[in-house]
Structure formats: C-alpha cells, structure tokens
Structure 1
Amino acid sequence: MQSKLKAIEPTVVHEPSQVIDAFMRCNSGQAMDKTVVRLTNSNESLCLNSIHHNNLSEDNDIMFPPIVCHHGTILISGGFGGLGLTMSRWMIEKRGVKRIILMSRRTLAELEQTSNPQYDDWLRLKQTVNEYEAHVDVAQADVTNFDQVYDLIEKLSRTSYPVRGVIHSAVVAEDRTLAKMTQEYLAHVLAAKVRGAWILHQVTQLTHAPLHFFLMFSSIRNHLLEVASSGYNAGNQFLDALAHYRMAQENLPVLSVSLPAVSGAGMFHRQ
C-alpha cells in the first residue's frame, strides 16, 4: 500500500508586507493551519503600515528606554562569542546603549590574541565603542558559578548603572550521539545554558536588579532532527521552559529566541 505526502491543509499564504500579521496570528495560539509567507525576487521595499510601525516603536521603548540606554548596564554572558560581540555592536549602533559588560571565563588578553576566532569581531566592536562614545567592560566570571555572578551583579547594583538588561549567550558546542553519551559529558554541555540561565534568573531577583529584559538565545536546531545534538537541544529546551516559567509564574520580563545559523556570528559561523 503506497501513500503520498501531502501539504498541511488549510494553508494560509501571506505576502511579504503581511509578515508581522502572520507572526502575530501564529503567536495568538489560534492558528491551526500552515502559515506561509510568500517570498519573491522583487526588489520592492517591505512596507509596513503605521499601526505596525507604532507597535514596533513601543516594543523598542520597552526594551531600550532612555533609562536602560543611558543609566543602566547590559550584561552579556558568553560575551566573548561572536554573537555577544555582534549584539553589543547592534545595541550601541541601533539602540543607543552606552554601557555593556561582557562576562566570560576567558581573559581580555585571550580575546585580544590574533589567533582568537573572534578577534576581528572584537576590533570592530572597539571601533564602534569609540565612534559612539560607549563603554564596554570585560568581567572575568563563570556564569555557572553562583558566587561570581552574584558578586558581579550585586556590585553593579550599588553603582549608578545597575544591570537593566541580561543577554544569556553562553554555550558549549560539543555534539555527540546518544550511543556515546555519558553523564559527565551531558553535565559539561548543559552547564553553560542550563545552570548559567538559572543562576542569572536567581541572582537578578536576589539583587532586585531593575531588569527591562532577560534575553536568552535558544536554537531552531531544537525543532530539527539531529541525532548528534541531544545535549545541546536539551539545553535549549530548558531555556524555552525557563522563559515560560518567568512569564507565567513570576511575571518577569523574558524572551527566548530560537535562532537559526546567524551569518557573521553564532557558534557555527566559523566552523
């Protein structure tokens, strides 16, 4: 008996100019069909109506109001990675953020070695910092160490620039199949994402950090069938679950973003 694969029905097709409507519809929980955005080779610009522009501006004001940009610090775990360095440049250039702390187990001397894969990203960030008169500091701390994270955030809470935004981008990228999985390996891979995220969640509450956003980078790989990514995917699943917990149980700001491979940044960029 033969069977044929068929497309999910019904299918709702949106034009590029309706992309925000499409995403908002999916996010409403009422979409029981397949949502498709039609992509063409047209050179026409993406036009959004004034309502969407206003909504986007309001979202920007929520995450990056003046008090965050000028009177706060953005703390980035895994800050020496390509994603952390790229996000820093974007926040300075596009959102007007003035103070960022890159938290990493590595030292500044290691970051500034020409053999470091992120050396060029670091040079571009330093150029941006000088151009926009921003401040980017490096804090050598392990996101999986509660005391180190607490000391850093508590120290900042006693300054005029407390932590007002957290970006959790720490990751250990080591793929292994289930047949070769060990408890030690799993603990090693999960530590940065899982323990790191939970410690940031705990410490920011204990220190009463006035957070406007708590951003975690999950991965779209979590929704794909990859036999060698079970440990990595488990960590991403925890980030998504923590986001639900912070929002539903604690009513705290949070966003978990399932990123694909990011051009010019991310853990797979230089592989």
Structure 2
Amino acid sequence: MRDGSLLTPHLARVATPAAHGGPLWRADGTVLVTGGLGVLGRLLVRHVVVSHGVRHVVAVSRSGASGEGIAAFVEELRAEGAELRVVTGDAADRAVLEDALASIPAEHPLTAVVHMAGVLDDGVLGSLTPERVDRVLRPKVDAAWHLHELTAGSDVPLFVFSSVSSVLGTAGQGSYAAANAFVDALVQHRRGAGAPGVSMGWGLWGAKSGLTGGLGETDMRRIARSGVQPLSADQGLALFDLARATDDPVVFPLHLDTAALSGGDTENIPPLLRGLARTPVRRATVRTEDEPGGDSLATRLARVPEAEQDAQLLTLVRSHVAAVLGYDDPRTVGERRAFVEIGFDSLRALQLRNRLNGATGLRLPATLVFDHPTPDALRGYLRTLLLPDSPSARDAEGGAAADAVAPDPGPGQSKGDEAIEQLRSAASLEEVFDFIDDQLGE
C-alpha cells in the first residue's frame, strides 16, 4: 500500500538498449570477481577476457589457486593475453577484500566488480537455525555490503549475481531468497546514492554449477512448470551484457517459456509473471466442462447410473488436483489421501477451487479442501451440489467425510486451527514426497 493505493508488483520486459551504454570494460583496468572460479565463474571470466578484451582479472576464491583445474584455467587465459590472479580467502571477510583491492596496481586500476559468491542450504522455515541462515547470508550479503562500502564514492560499477528467488521464491529457499532480496535492495540503494551497479536476478543456467548440481528430475520438472527454462551458456552471457548496459538497478535475466505460461491454467501462473504471458490473463480462463451450447455437467451426470456418476466426479476431482500439483497422471492422486499430505497449501487450495468453479459452473468456498479434506470427500460434496435430488447425494458427502484421513480437532482446537496446523507441515511433507519421487526415478 502506498499513498492510499494498493499496488501489485509484476515483472515486465526491459527494452533492449539501442547501444550498450553504462559502464564499459576497460582493457587496461582490472576486474575483481568474487566466487568466480566455479562453472559459471569461469564462463564469465573467459567472457570478459575474450569478448571484452580485459587483460587483468583478480578472483577471490575459498579454494584459491590450488582448486581443481585452476592452474589450467590460468594458463588458458594467459594464452589469450590476460592475467588471472587468484586470492585465497572468504569474500565475506572484509580484510580479505581490502587486501585484494590494495594489491591492484595503479597502472591497472579497478574498473568493475562482479560479485558471484553464493551458497545454498535449503530447508523449510521450521528447520532453519541461525547457523544455517548465516551460512547462506554471509557469502552473499556480507560480501556485497563490504564491496559496496569499499567502492563507495568511486565510479566502479558493482555487478551482483542475484536470483529470481528474491521475487518468485521457491519452497525451502527462505534464507536464499532473503539473501538475494537484500542484494537487490542494496544495489537500488547504491544507485540512489549515485554509484553505479546492477543486480541480476538469474534464473536457472543449463550448466551445472555448485548451486544447481544437486537438482534432480523432480526439481527440474517443478522449475519448468513455473515457465523458467534453463539458459545456455551463450544465452546467459548475452543477457549479462544486456543487463550490464541497462539503466535499471535490478533486472532478471531469464529464459521464460511464455507460451507455456499462457497455454496452461492461468491460475497456476505466478502473479508476477502473468503480464509476460502472450495472452492476457482475463482471456485465458479456466476450461469448463460445460461445452458451449451443450448440456451442463449436472445434466450429463443425471443421465448416467449412480455408480458412474461417482466415478466421473472422482475423475474430475483427481484430474484437477493433478493439474494443480503438476502430476502427469491423475491416477497418482490417492482418493483418500488428505490434501495437506500431498502438498496443498493455501495458494494451491485456491487454485483447485478456481479450477473446479470453472469445471462445474458452481461458486465453491475458498475453504473447500479444508472442509472436504480428501478427493473422495470432495467428490461427495460436489455430488450434493450438482445432484441435490439424488437419493444418495446427502449420504455421499457424509460417508466421504467420515472416511477422511485428517484427524478430528483436539480439545480447544477449531477446524480452522487444525487447517493452519496442517498447512504448517505441508511444505516439509512436499519435500519428503519429492525426495521419494527422486529415489523412485519418477
């Protein structure tokens, strides 16, 4: 809320600069890179040497020059006519950065800083300890702050490798999202003070790095469903050059599958990305089961035997549950498994409610999955609404609710309190099921 108005943030495309303005690499200067000797770091260092003619690079690395393949990389750059000097140390240690900057000779002054250091330690909020949070924040936040202070008052640009998690967020990445949100805000603050810099909130790179090397197939499928596709090395480096030349303090270099964003259920598109879909969200409505000019779902159900009605309604519910969860096969949705046990949170509950509104023509409550906590219970509830005159309609809801997996509220606990407690554990349960999927190779 700002000045009495409600504002909704969204991502929008940045116009490609007609010419690369902003800070330019100086061949006679020195570029300082933190965390720049991993897979992505070597791509970037090689790029500034080969494509931008930089002859002097200083890299701050924990492993130092003794790291695997570093000696060969130094020789590779030397063959290109460039000098790579490796400083062993922690970029979050201000003294290490001060020494690295002090060692840069006056004849090759510092002309740019690229802050790439970062660490992951994913976990749901309840599992995060101060030590785990500090492990993530130190290399990203502390190092960025020190670099900002040490280059304040100069015309040296600070280019920070951030992450799109700072605005989109993903389950289990609370500390990493917070770290990147900090550096985004820091660069905005820096630009407001008149110092140059850009924070680049990257999506996924195709090249496996220390941060992404542990991603399994389940993780990749989840990322793909968000519309974020892996960047090739060439795409990433080209976006780096464009981001470097932009006037915006914070940009998000992404490879977005906008066709996928607009082609699916728009309720599943993160609100921040909806403006990037090729079709406006209001036109991309949820598909309804009622065919144009045809009979309603209730009319079609009334024509079939009672047992077939239950089967069709259960198939309808499982299909939309699978769509919300991103499952390929609705049959993997257990009809008597509680929604909170299979990864439903408040947002997914609303997504399912909205899908079923479109599929049935009903106006269902937002508490739908908590009032009817299993697919079978929900099937029974829909039956009572769509076929109220059916002899077994009332029994269908009651019987399904009686078979629900969710326990009764304890003493002094309401159904609403119970739903909140279930939601608190949903993310950790989702992680468990994703782990099981990985182990089973699904």
Residue aligning to 2:29: 72
Write the mapping of 1:112-191 to structure 2, written as runs, cut at 5 A: 112=69, 123=72, 126-127=75-76, 129-156=77-104, 158-191=105-138
Contact 2:74 2:83 in 1 (8 A): no
Alpha-carbon distance in structure 2 between the residues aligned to 1:163 and 1:209: 10
Inter-partner Cα distance in structure 2 for 1:264 and 1:102: 20
Distance 1:124 1:86 in 2: 11
The structure with the larger Rg is 2
Q: Contact 2:30–2:110 at 8 Å: present in 1 too? A: yes
2:141 is the counterpart of 1:194 = yes
Per the alignment, in what secondary structure is the counterpart of residue 179 of structure 1? helix
**2:54 matched residue in structure 1:** 97
Q: 2:160 aligns with which of 216, 223, 233?
A: 216
Q: 2:24 aligns with which of 63, 66, 69?
A: 63
Which residue is equivalent to 1:49?
none
CA shift for structure 1 position 125: 6.5
Distance, in Å, in 1 between the alignment partners of 2:158 and 2:67 is 27
Deviation at 1:58, TM superposition (A): 3.5
Q: Which amino acid aligns with 1:229?
A: Q
How far does residue 270 in structure 1 lie from its aligned partner after superposition? 2.8
Q: Is the 8 A contact 1:162 1:210 kept in 2?
A: no
- In structure 1, C-alpha distance between the alignment counterparts of 2:169 and 2:21, rounded to whole Å: 37
Match of 2:203 among 222, 239, 260: 260
Q: Distance in 1 between matches of 2:60 and 2:74?
A: 15
Structure 1 Cα separation of the partners of residues 20 and 181 of structure 2: 30
Q: Conserved in 1, the CA contact under 8 Å of 2:116 and 2:161? A: yes
User: Residues 137-190 of structure 1, C-alpha deviation per residue, up to 9 Å, x if partnerless?
Assistant: 11112211111211221231x531121100000001111110101112111210
Pick closer, same or farther for the CA change 1:73–1:265 going to 2, 3 Å. Answer: farther
Q: Mean alpha-carbon deviation: is it higher for 237-246 or for 224-233?
A: 224-233
Structure 1 188/269 Cα, relative in aligned 2: closer, same or farther at 3 Å?
A: closer
Q: SS at the partner of 1:195? A: helix
CA distance in 1, matches of 2:203, 2:74: 23
Following the alignment from structure 1 to structure 2, what is the Cα–Cα distance between the partners of residues 107 and 225? 32
- Normalised by the length of structure 2, the TM-score is 0.43
> Aligned-pair RMSD on alpha carbons?
2.3
Describe the shift of the 1:210–1:254 C-alpha distance in structure 2 as closer, same or farther (beyond 3 A).
closer
- CA distance 1:245–1:186, change in 2 (3 Å): same
Return 189-198 or 258-267, whichever deviates more: 258-267
Q: Would you say the 8 A contact 1:178–1:227 is kept in 2?
A: no
Conservation of the 8 A alpha-carbon contact between 1:93 and 1:132: yes
Deviation, structure 1 residue 22: 4.8
Distance 1:93 1:223 in 2: 33
CA distance in 1, matches of 2:174, 2:116: 18
Cα distance in 2 for partners of 1:265, 1:161 equals 33
* Helix, strand or coil at the partner of 1:175: coil
What amino acid does structure 2 have at the position aligned with 1:23? Answer: V
Counterpart for residue 227 of structure 1: 171
Structure 2 residue matching 1:174: 3-state secondary structure: coil
Higher relative contact order, structure no. (Cα contacts within 8 Å, ≥ 6 residues apart): 1
Tell me how far 1:225 sits from its aligned partner.
3.9
Q: TM-score if structure 1 supplies the norm length?
A: 0.68
Counterpart-to-counterpart distance in 2, 1:200 and 1:218: 15
Count matched residues: 203
SS of residue paired to 2:120:
coil
Distance (whole Å) between structure 2 residues aligned to residue 203 and residue 101 of structure 1:
16
Query: Equivalent residue for 2:64?
Result: 107
Contact 2:121 2:135 in 1 (8 A): no
Deviations 1:82-140 (A, max 9, x none): 2221100111111111111111121211233xxxxxx7xx746742x144211111111
Shift in Å, 1:266: 4.2
| Aligned mates of 1:255, 1:189 — CA distance in 2 | 21
